[in-house]
Amino acid sequence: MQRANHSTVTQFILIGFSAFPHLQLMLFLLFLLMYLFTLLGNLLIMATVWSERSLHTPMYLFLCALSISEILYTVAIIPRMLADLLSTQHSIAFLACASQMFFSFSFGFTHSFLLTVMGYDRYVAICQPLRYNVLMSPWGCTCLVGCSWAGGLVMGMVVTMAIFHLTFCGRNEIHHFACHVPPLLKLACGDDVLVVAKGVGLVCITALLGCFLLILLSYAFILAAILKILSAEGRNKAFSTCASHLTVVVVHYGFASVIYLKPKGPQSLEGDTLMGITYTVLTPFLSPIIFSLRNKELKVAMKKTFFSKLYPEKNVMM
């Protein structure tokens, strides 16, 4: 095979948690519980939206798509990470490493694109309510979700092909718990490594900043529209529909900025691992909590759909 001739490395060693040898069992239990809660929270959101007719609206369609992308993103990384915490063999095949990078980047960028689409949805709902049914028609929503997924897959393909067409010479220890771009670039050799590193960094930062600026633009118009509402109750009601999305955006891009915009220079293995955990484990863990607790309509629907079935006697008393 051409790839075998192109690279002398056939597998990599993930050593992201080697800096915490005495904490690995505790980390495994902690991350397993967070992972299961992430899956349960997102599945609960999807089941609630599916079963409650009042939630069959564009905003909750986008929320379901966001939950799917979040589940797939965590599936691409966390099960392997959990297995490595219990195993003494941390090797990962060349193709498996490339696959993990492709899926994690694809679903990660899909998540960013969907957050941007959700910001646009809130802009139309608040700033152009009379045109909402036209701009957010079923076909329009499907196109927006489809474009978000297609964009994420394209980003994943571009980044993965750029990285894995490099030559890896001899060294195969990845100083991370996943096949992440910066530690892989340190293992590559050849004259084109610097060009690829700058190109991949530019593409990722441009996409993230582009999404973030579009969300900021949406909320600038939203804020201007809310300030024109005369009643305090009307302003609070309009802002409440944006609160959960805005909170998730702050968390998502806050942790992403730590990963992609951190100062250049020598980084410790512990520092890189901890920063990676915030974006890989903590952000997906917080997202369903934020949407469940800060979205009053979704919270009421969850109680109506599930808790009333689990505790019918309380429902009767209410």
DSSP string of the chain? -HHHHH-S--EEEE-TTTT-GGGHHHHHHHHHHHHHHHHHHHHHHHHHHHH-GGG-SHHHHHHHHHHHHHHHHHHHHHHHHHHHHH-S--EEEHHHHHHHHHHHHHHHHHHHHHHHHHHHHHHHHHH-GGGHHHHT-HHHHHHHHHHHHHHHHHHHHHHHHHHHTSEE-S--EESSSS--HHHHHHHEESTTHHHHHHHHHHHHHHHHHHHHHHHHHHHHHHHHHHHT--SHHHHHHHHHHHHHHHHHHHHHHHHHHHHHSSPSS---HHHHHHHHHIIIIIHHHHHHHHHHHH-HHHHHHHIIIIIHHH-HHHHHH-
When divided into structural domains, the chain yields a total of: 1
pLDDT at 229: 80
Number of residues in the chain? 318
Model confidence band, residue 158 (pLDDT cutoffs 50, 70, 90): very high
Instruction: Kindly tell me the sign of the dihedral angle through the C-alpha atoms of 46, 52, 54, 57.
Output: positive
Q: 241 lies in which domain range?
A: 2-317
Q: For residue 318, is pLDDT > 50? A: no
Percent of the residues in the chain that have a pLDDT greater than 90, as a whole number: 39
Distance, in Å, from the CA atom of 71 to the CA atom of 289, rounded to the nearest integer, reads 14
pLDDT at 288: 87
pLDDT at 175: 84
3-state secondary structure 228-290: CCCCHHHHHHHHHHHHHHHHHHHHHHHHHHHHHCCCCCCCCHHHHHHHHHHHHHHHHHHHHHH
pLDDT, tens digit (0-9, with 9 covering 90-100), for 294-316: 677 777 777 776 666 555 555 54
Q: What is the pTM of this model?
A: 0.88
pLDDT, tens digit (0-9, with 9 covering 90-100), for 163-190: 998 888 877 888 888 898 888 988 888 8
Question: Which range has the worst mean pLDDT, 36-40, 87-91, 294-298, 308-312?
Answer: 308-312
Q: For residue 12, is pLDDT > 50? A: yes
Q: For residue 238, is pLDDT > 70? A: yes
Q: For residue 263, is pLDDT > 80? A: no
What is the CATH number for 233? 1.20.1070.10
Percent of the residues in the chain that have a pLDDT greater than 70, as a whole number: 88
Q: For residue 41, is pLDDT > 70? A: yes
More confident residue, 17 or 102: 102
pLDDT at 269: 55
pLDDT at 22: 83
pLDDT, tens digit (0-9, with 9 covering 90-100), for 94-148: 999 999 999 999 999 999 999 999 999 999 999 988 999 999 999 999 999 999 9
More confident residue, 265 or 67: 67
Question: Which range has the worst mean pLDDT, 131-135, 269-273, 279-283?
Answer: 269-273
